[in-house]
Structure 1
Amino acid sequence: MGIYILRRLVSAIAVMVMVGVFVFLLLRLAPGDPAAIIAGDAATLEMIAGIREQLGLADPLLVQFVRWAISILGGDFGTSIFTGRPVVELIADRLEPTLCLSFMTIISSVTIGVYFGVFAAWRAGGVIDRALAGFAAVGFSVPVFVIGYALVYYFAITTHWLPVQGYAPISSGAGTWFVHLVLPTLTLSVGYVAFIARITRSSMLEVLSEDYMRTAAAKGASSYAMLFHHALKNAGVPILTVIGLSLAGLISGVVITETVFNIPGVGRLVVDAINNRDYPIIQAVLILVSGLYVLINLAVDLSYTLVDPRIRY
């Protein structure tokens, strides 16, 4: 088990090193110059050169990378080019909405998706199974922003049941906070519920056809025990995999959802930073997101050993 964990940790570190190099080069070699944006349309070449010197952008790429890598390892993500504030503070200010939206989406997607998939497999060919197939087709094919605008039109504009846009912090009250997150969570959850439910159904169908499941039924095991104690555990590896992929893919969905619902989260911060070519913010968020992605995959790999101990060897 220790060797298995060590191999996964070494792989995770190697991936993060490659991600760091890629993120640095991607932004530096992409078209556009933050110095020209800061200087404005009436700036001269001398003014732009001076700003580039001040920001350290005139140094060789290797020097810039080493300086940046040392700062990242020390926990210093630099200072925003446009606001002059530390990047860590800017991200921390926007973290609550993103974390809350992600948490609500994860809980709802996994809970609803797994239960839908289990019961669809249990009643394969029935009403629930056919309804899941139709729901999955919609969830897979319709873009997130289209779902968001459709939900806003009905629940906010037509019925006035929920607020159109914005975010209410937790300090404003649990009720107000929850109401403002309902529509963004529903928008972001549709695709992930469909994805998790379909994979859960497929995995459960394979397990339910095994001999030991028929033996459990012959011994008088209840439907709940057969589905959630025996079948779901043995179908766990593909389900855990798709949950991990969903959590990783959630990152990109949050950016779109925050834009649609005007939520001042990390996603909106990244969009603004891209428009302004604010290198430090973009680099910091990409590194943090990549690190989160690697940690999620590492956690999923380690969780396999709890479901199937044979993976340890």
Structure 2
Amino acid sequence: MLFYIIRRMISAIAVMAMVGAFIFLLVRFAPGDPAVIIAGPTATEAVVAGIRDQMGLNDPLAAQFMRWVQEIVSGNLGTSIFSGLPVSELIAQRLQPTISLSLLTALLSILVGVSFGVLAAWRAGGWADRFLIGFSAVGFSVPVFVIGYFLVYVFAIQTHWLPVQGYKPISQGMTAWLVHLILPTLTLSLAYIAFIARITRSSMLEVLSEDYMRTAAAKGASSYAMLFHHALKNAGVPILTAIGLSFAGLVGGVVLTETVFNIPGIGRLVVDAINGRDYPIIQSVLIIVSGLYVLINLMVDLAYTLIDPRIRY
């Protein structure tokens, strides 16, 4: 087990090294020049060149990359080009809304998706199974922003039950915090509920058709024991994979959802930084998000070994 963990951690470090290089090159070769944006449209070429020298953008790419890697390893995420504030401070200011939305979405997606998938598999061909198939088709095909605008129209504009947009921190009250996150969470979680439920249903159907499940039923095992003690545990690897992919997919969904509902989170920070070509913010956020993605995959891989010990070898 220890050898398996070490091997997976080495692979994760190698992946992060390649991701870091890709992010650096992607940002550098993207259209636009931050020096031109800072100098303004009426600035001369000499002024722009001076700003580029001051920012170190005229240095060789290898020197810029090594300088950035040294700063990241030392915990220094750099300084925003436009605001002049430390990037770590800007990220910390936007962290709570994004974490709140992501955790609520993940919790709702797992609880509803797994439960719905188990029910649909247990009553295959019934109303729950047919509803899941239709719901999955809608969840997979309709974009996040379309779902968001529809929910806003129904529950905020027409009924006035929920606020249209914005975010309230937990310090202003749990109720206000939760009320402002209901619509964004529902918007973001529908696709992941559909995905997790479909994978759970397919995996459970495969396990329920095994001989040992018929043997358990012949011995008088209860429906609860058959579903959750025998079937769900043996169907756990594909379900864990679906949950891990859903967590990773939250990154892109959060950006769109925060934009639709005007939530001041990490997604909005990245969008503003991209529009302004603020390299330090873009690079820092992307490397953090990529690190979380790799960490989630590592945790999922380690969780596999708890469900199926054969994976260790």
TM-score surpassing 0.5? yes
Deviation at 1:250, TM superposition (A): 0.6
Corresponding residue of 1:300:
300
Residues 1:259 and 2:259 are matched in the alignment? yes
SS at match of 1:4: helix
Query: Which deviations, in whole Å up to 9, do the C-alpha atoms of 1:28-67 show, x marking residues without a partner?
Result: 1111100000111111101101111111111111111111
Query: Which deviations, in whole Å up to 9, do the C-alpha atoms of 1:197-216 show, x marking residues without a partner?
Result: 00000000000011111111
- 2:184 is aligned with what amino acid? P
Corresponding residue of 1:76:
76
Deviation at 1:121, TM superposition (A): 0.2
Q: State the number of aligned residues.
A: 313
Corresponding residue of 1:65:
65
- 2:240 is aligned with what amino acid? L
**Distance in 1 between residues matched to 2:132 and 2:29, nearest whole Å:** 45
**Distance in 2 between residues matched to 1:224 and 1:148, nearest whole Å:** 36
TM-score with structure 2 length normalisation? 0.99
SS at match of 2:263: coil
Query: Which deviations, in whole Å up to 9, do the C-alpha atoms of 1:271-310 show, x marking residues without a partner?
Result: 0000000000000000000000000000000000011011
Query: Which deviations, in whole Å up to 9, do the C-alpha atoms of 1:174-220 show, x marking residues without a partner?
Result: 00100000000000000000000000000000000111111111122
* Gaps in structure 1 of 5+ consecutive residues: none
Corresponding residue of 1:126:
126
Deviation at 1:242, TM superposition (A): 0.8
SS at match of 1:7: helix
1:1-313 aligned at under 5 Å gives the runs 1-313=1-313
- 2:81 is aligned with what amino acid? I
SS at match of 1:164: coil
Tell me which moved more, 223-232 or 193-202: 223-232
SS at match of 2:125: coil
**Distance in 2 between residues matched to 1:185 and 1:28, nearest whole Å:** 34
Q: CA RMSD in A?
A: 0.5
**Distance in 2 between residues matched to 1:161 and 1:138, nearest whole Å:** 24
SS at match of 2:221: coil
Query: Which deviations, in whole Å up to 9, do the C-alpha atoms of 1:245-284 show, x marking residues without a partner?
Result: 0000011100000000000000000000000000000000
Work out the percentage of aligned pairs sharing the same amino acid.
75
**Distance in 2 between residues matched to 1:60 and 1:4, nearest whole Å:** 39
**Distance in 1 between residues matched to 2:205 and 2:47, nearest whole Å:** 67
SS at match of 2:90: helix
- Stretches of 4+ aligned residues off by more than 6 angstroms: none
SS at match of 1:241: helix
Deviation at 1:68, TM superposition (A): 0.6
**Distance in 2 between residues matched to 1:87 and 1:168, nearest whole Å:** 23
**Distance in 1 between residues matched to 2:283 and 2:214, nearest whole Å:** 54
* Gaps in structure 2 of 5+ consecutive residues: none
Deviation at 1:222, TM superposition (A): 1.2
**Distance in 1 between residues matched to 2:131 and 2:186, nearest whole Å:** 18
